[in-house]
Structure 1
Amino acid sequence: MTFQKISERLALLALCLIAIVPFASRVHFVPLPQWFGEINVIWLLLAAGAFLLPGGRLFDAMPRAGWLCLALAGAWAAQPQFVHLLFPGMSYVTALAWLATALLASVTLSLRGAFGDREFAVWLARAVIVGGLAQSLIGTAQLTGLAPALGLFYDGSHPTSNIFGHIGQRNQYAHYLMWSVVSGVYLFAVGRLGRAWLIALVLWMALMLGWAGSRTILLYLVALSALAGLWHWRSRDESSRRMMLAMWAASGTILAAQFALPLFNHLISLLTHSDVENASGVARLAANGDDMGARRFAEMHKAWLAFKAHPLWGVGWSQYAAESVRLQPLPQFAAAGYNSGLFTNAHNLLMQLLAEMGGVVTALVVVGFVWAVLPFFRRKAEPKACWHWAASR
């Protein structure tokens, strides 16, 4: 094996580790609870780029997504020149993050060229599964009460909502586990994962997704089922059919686990001699519909008012929370109630961008995103493309 091939394999390893290592950090301390995870992304990304240098592949091509990230880096760096910010450093840090994302896009395209689309997607899917399994084991320790004894991250003040791995937030934890499910379905569709292994993966992740208590997973199931059907309708081949049927079966299993969770709570309680009463996403949705709706819509309304008051450049990056508190005394928000955590964001990405960055940058984000993904839909519909979309939700 030549030095160039070894270097490219090491670059692929570094990129795959980005899907695993940063999420496994147990260090979450203010004022930057995600710093240790995010800095691991940077180091691994720089390592991947360095390994591509001997073969001259780094920056041999820049995808549209890379150019978009460069433009967004400029937009975030420029906003402090037009808007008075309480914390301008947050804008510059975000601009640096966009630069890192542009490098990630270039490294990804280079590795796709080196290994081919199929092989690159297979290895990345495997990495996501490994990461998801690692997080699910951490979640199991949190569920059974073993996390403190094992030195794992554990939020003892919220015993019914701390099943979140080392990611530290149950919705993001559940999303990560869903990426593992989709990755397994993709590998099964292309013949790189056996049926028995897929069944075991789906059953395990279905239980862990139930204990996570995330309600957004229900939206995932609908969206993924529709996406798999759309991709098969476009492709009409055996691999897309296998992916569609496997995705539908996995979605049905995950939904069934949401309803069956009380039985497993009872089983774990018997085995651990403790009282496990974690609620699934379905149970939480049925028990507290207002928490899912009215107060979040109130935050979206505040974001819209902030945008109307600052239509061009917004109120400033990372300043929505302050604006939300300022608007809370208005009469239209009195009936929505107050929550000590919901005010931190608008609970809608588009409204958040409009409020904090204004119409100019939001238009750049939306138009740029459409421009970046447009070539994606002009290609032949293949399972790996469906997996890319599903894992990016």
Structure 2
Amino acid sequence: MLMNSWSLAEDYPTITWDQLLMQSSVDLSHNEISPEALQNYMDAQDQRLPNQALSGKNIAISGFVVPLEWDQASNISEFLLVPYYGACIHVPPPPKNQIIHVKLKEGLAGIQTMDNLTVLGRLNLDGNVSEYGESDYLLVADSIQYDVEQKNQAFIWATLLTLICGLTICIGWFVGICIQQKNKLLMRILLSFSAGTMIYLSLAVLWMQLNVLSVGLWIGGFVALLLLNRILHTQGKLTITALVIHNIPESFIVFSTAMMNIWLGLLLAVTVICHNFPLGCGLVLPESVKSKKQQCYRTLFTGIMPACLAILMYLFLRSILSMEYLIHLSALAGGMMLYVALKEILPKAEPSQYRRSAILGISIAFVVMILLTMLIAIG
């Protein structure tokens, strides 16, 4: 049943997820996008009826796997097919008109949670309710097409993007070393930019999940570094701790997105690179680390370790790792980053003496991060 060829393509025409739905009578006008119009549009999308014309038809459709049942040999026998990565497990389920309950004629080995594959079979309007969501469609699979070569290529590109994001911190540190003595004004602006980036990311993470738990973790991260600094007096290590904790969920999102869509992963990677570079400049600061060689090793650890951990998490923990956990980890790191920005990075830019350069760096950071955030939202 597991195939790598496309020999059945003529008998099973490929459809898109939007073709599963009847046309909606509600249109979202670009001339008038109000909160009410947007809500009406989203409600209409959820309530769109299944496409009756597809009932009983042979189709091929690509999506992501949410396992439901296994046979006695632990091979997957039933699963939900969903249109985007993380649905039903890492994020809330899509509407029932965008979930397909797939039944296999025989158990299938080698398929994991959130694998991207193409299912060929007869589609019926026969809904099902499971612990992961309700579906309008049942598809009895005649064949599963699993492009191993495409998955391997996606893994290579996703790994490269994630590692490049981490290495950007190292590049930022190297640039900071080069200009630290030669151009102190530029260094102060870069440090202010780094602090502004940290402040923006800290506030953005808090705003993304504004609830009691996330706010508590955010405050806890700030207080934890405050207490550790007073007890241990190791500012440099605290900076590295905050950046590592922050970069783990960030690297996971870049990697998992690139596995699904390389262009969207590239867009996220560009955003990460733009703020990792000035963060690397900030690692030049710790006065307790006299040796440039030791600084280099710590910077490599800060950049590479989160990327490697994120890749391992995707490979071995993606079936149990909830996006909610990553958001909570980001909230904790957000509080830590705010402390590092206000107590370690920004003071080195001497804002009391060089107010204009500090304001310029922070302002540029906020503008750049807002533009990148908008670009991600559009993408």
Q: TM-score range by the shorter chain?
A: under 0.3
Normalised TM-score (structure 1): 0.23
Structure richer in strand, relative to its length:
2
User: If you compute each CA radius of gyration, which structure gives the higher value, 1 or 2?
Assistant: 2
Normalised TM-score (structure 2): 0.24
Q: Which structure has the higher relative contact order (CA within 8 Å, separation 6+)? A: 2
